Structure 1
Amino acid sequence: MKKVNIGGVPEHFNLAWYLTLKNGEYKTEDINLRWHDYYGGTGDMCQGLRSGDIDIAVILTEGIVKDIIAGNPSKIVQTFVQTPLIWGIHVDAKSPFKTIEDIKGKNAAISRYGSGSHLMAYINAKNNGWDLEQDLRFEVVKNLDNAIKTLQGGKADYFMWEKFTTKPIVDDGVFRRIGNCPSPWPCFVIAVSNDFIDNHKDDLETILRIINETTREFKYIPSIDKTIAIRYEQDINDVQEWLSLTEWSQELIDEPTLDMVQKELYNLSIIPEVLPYDQLTYSI
């Protein structure tokens, strides 16, 4: 049985993977797919792909594009979630900050450089007309738990993370959300190491077929809203809102969209060059 390592954030977006694993769907195809939670997010997964700790990553679009251009030997093989990620902009509940303008020039907590929380801080700054050199400062916190401690301790002033994941923390009075910043592109893609593509293409095709069969029907799974609410400790009304806003994909990200992602990152000086479509993607 072929062992395959896959990584992703332990959030509701990836429940479809958990369900297919629980059902043993990969093992029936002689594939031992092992899921690894990456609490450190995108930057941590990029390192996992580079080191060979994982073969596949379910990862933020902007993060993997940046890292492939920086030399990560991987390719995007499919969009996983077509809709944008809604990033909540959070401050400590006891902080004096009330508006996005209040955090201009303040310290942003980020999971690591190159992560989604890092890159989206630039998008937010651009959206609000800030000086990208003068008005952005960063404090690396690695994960959500440390972000809470860092904001409470005053070492950082705001933190951007997916709105619905942090909603329970807002409801508990730990964070206060002062705004939202949707990503300008599909939020999650599936990236695979070049080595795995070259040597295990049939296994990759099988894995994608199984997960795509589940995501096509995901919203129609009986009581899926209750399952998500319980597993991820979220209010069922928030889950139902999230389900109404989220669309999965079974297709490879298209060239115009990927060009737009690259041009946005290039204009923000996050990437040094724009690569051809076929250097970033692989069509199964």
Structure 2
Amino acid sequence: MKNLIIGGVPEHFNLPWYLTLRDKEYHAKDINLRWRDFPGGTGRMCKALRNGEIDLAVILTEGIIRDIVKGNPSKIVQIFVASPLLWGIHVAENSNFSSVEELKGTHAAISRFGSGSHLMAYVNAEVMGWDTEQDLNFTVVNNLTGALEGLPRGEGDYFMWEKFTTKPYVDNGPLRRIGEVPTPWPCFVIAATNKILEKDADAVRDILDIINTTTREFKSIPSIDTMIANRYKQKPEDVTEWLSLTEWSQQNLTENQVDIIQGQLKKLDLIDNKVQADSILHSF
């Protein structure tokens, strides 16, 4: 049996993976797929792909494209979630800030440099018309837990994270959401190391076939909303809203999408140069 490791954030988007792993669906293809949680998010997963700690990752699109351009020996094999990610802009409950405009020139708490929370701070700054060199500062807090503990202590002034993941901490403290900004592209992709694609592309394709069967049917699974609410401590009405906004995909990014994302990253000085789409995408 082939042993493969896939990484991802411990959030509701990845429940389809939990279901297929729980039911040992990959065993039918002689694959022992193991899941590894990465609370540190995209930046930490990029490092794990580079180091060979994991073979695949469910990862933020802009983060992995930036890291591949910067030398990560991996490729995107498929979109996972086609809809945008809604990033909530949060401050501490006891903060004096009440609008996003007031955050100009303050410190964004980020999980790590190169993470989604880091990159989206730049996207938000552009939306706001800020000078990304003068008006952005960063404080590393490692993950969501670090932000929940650090923001009330003044470690960073605001924190950007997926809106529905943070909703319980907005409802009950210690966060307050003062704005939101969507990613202007499909939010999650599946990436695989070049090593595993060269060694066992068939296994990767089998994994995609299995997860795609589940994501096609995901919204129609009986009581799936209740399962999400219980597992991720969400309010049923929030789960209903999230499901209505979220679309999974079984396709890969197009060359045009890759060009648009690279163009945005270059515009924000997050990459120095654009590369050909076939350096980023893998086609089976």
Q: TM-score range by the shorter chain?
A: over 0.9
Rounded Cα–Cα distance in structure 2 between residues aligned with 1:207 and 1:90: 36
Corresponding letter in the other structure for 2:189: V
Please name the residue that 1:197 is paired with: 197
State yes or no: 1:252 paired with 2:256: no
Corresponding letter in the other structure for 2:283: S
Corresponding letter in the other structure for 2:247: E
Please name the residue that 1:45 is paired with: 45
Deviations 1:163-191 (A, max 9, x none): 00000000002100000010010000000
Deviation at 1:20, TM superposition (A): 0.2
Q: Secondary structure at the match of 2:25?
A: coil
Corresponding letter in the other structure for 1:207: I
Rounded Cα–Cα distance in structure 1 between residues aligned with 2:184 and 2:205: 29
Corresponding letter in the other structure for 1:72: N
Contiguous gaps of at least 5 residues in structure 2: none
Identity of aligned residues (%): 60
Rounded Cα–Cα distance in structure 2 between residues aligned with 1:204 and 1:135: 42
Please name the residue that 2:70 is paired with: 70
Please name the residue that 1:208 is paired with: 208
Corresponding letter in the other structure for 1:58: V
Please name the residue that 2:272 is paired with: 272
Deviation at 1:207, TM superposition (A): 0.3
TM-score with structure 1 setting the length:
0.99
Please name the residue that 1:261 is paired with: 261
Please name the residue that 2:181 is paired with: 181
TM-score with structure 2 setting the length:
0.99
Rounded Cα–Cα distance in structure 1 between residues aligned with 2:28 and 2:231: 26
Rounded Cα–Cα distance in structure 2 between residues aligned with 1:156 and 1:209: 42
Deviations 1:130-152 (A, max 9, x none): 01011000001111111112111
Please name the residue that 1:159 is paired with: 159
Aligned length: 284
Please name the residue that 1:101 is paired with: 101
After the TM superposition, list the runs of 4 or more consecutive aligned residues in structure 1 that deviate by more than 2 angstroms. none
Please name the residue that 1:221 is paired with: 221
Please name the residue that 1:16 is paired with: 16
Rounded Cα–Cα distance in structure 2 between residues aligned with 1:120 and 1:113: 11
Deviations 1:205-252 (A, max 9, x none): 110000000000000000000000000000010001000000000001
Rounded Cα–Cα distance in structure 1 between residues aligned with 2:35 and 2:114: 23
Deviation at 1:43, TM superposition (A): 0.4
Deviation at 1:55, TM superposition (A): 0.2
Q: Secondary structure at the match of 1:89?
A: strand
Q: Secondary structure at the match of 1:282?
A: coil
Please name the residue that 2:124 is paired with: 124
State yes or no: 1:3 paired with 2:22: no
State yes or no: 1:28 paired with 2:28: yes
